[in-house]
Amino acid sequence: MTDLTSMDDIAKYNRQAWDQLVDKGNQWTRPVTSDQIQAARKGQWSVVLTPERTVPGEWLAGVQDLEVLALASGGGQQTPILSAAGANVTVIDNSPGQLKQDQAVADREGLSIRTELGDMRDLSRFQDKSFDLVFNPCSIGFVPDVQPVFDEVARVLRPGGRLMCGFTNPVRFVFDEDAIERDAMQVRHVLPYADETHLTEPELEKLRAEGEPFLFSHTLEGLIGGQLQAGMIMIGFYEDRPESDYASKFFASYFATCFKKPM
């Protein structure tokens, strides 16, 4: 049994879980195709922060030649597209397997992508004001405390730099996940949610046996207010209602934000 008594224990467990998901071919571990890379090189590209809705073009205008940090964004998907579009991309991810997917696309397509193995809570290897854009697609739910992430991002962003994040709507965690997968909505949990405190021991054993990463909900105050607390200004917001998620028949189960660091 994995001991999940600290954030470091959780990060270690989730690293192993995501490496297993790579081996299983999870949809967020499948690299983009050569056709997608060629299209990006011609200016025909899009990326996602949430499952289905693409990031608005105005959020990514002028990405060419920007210094981009793809934060917890391994998997060979968003990172190679941004690189092919002309950005100078560094990707940091907790999973060696996910980083290998990015490197595989870079090798295949002749892209220059810097890969870094590490936790999104600790960006100390990067100097202050190193990046113009931090791109974080829907992965902050794998850490219990979001404020250290936002504080570190604010530090490494240059004045005028942007942070783009995708989030699972905290409301989704009120409902039983197994029921959602059966196309049913069953209120079960009090928020904020955490797998290790809200699931029964048999459910936790099943989650571990299946190699699924541990998830956490956060408050809207933490997700949006946390970015404000880090000293950034909100300049963009959208919701995503993916057809693949039954919960989205009732509410937008994902959303994305764009924040800017003041000059």
In this predicted model, what pLDDT tens digit does every residue of 43-81 receive, in sequence order?
A: 999 999 999 999 999 999 999 999 999 999 999 999 999
In this predicted model, what pLDDT tens digit does every residue of 5-22 receive, in sequence order?
A: 467 888 999 999 999 999
Using a pLDDT cut of 70, give the percent of the chain over it.
98
Q: How many CA atoms lie within 13 A of 109 on its CB side?
A: 29
Q: Which residues are CB-contacts of 170 (< 8 A; sequence separation ≥ 6)?
A: 191, 192, 193, 217, 218, 219, 220, 223
Please give the pLDDT value at position 63.
Answer: 96
Q: What is the pTM of this model?
A: 0.94
Cis upstream peptide for 213 (omega within 30°): no
Using a pLDDT cut of 90, give the percent of the chain over it.
94
> Which helix or strand (DSSP H or E) is residue 189 part of?
none
Interval 243-256 mean pLDDT:
97
Of 209, 159, 169, 163, the closest CA to residue 191 belongs to: 169
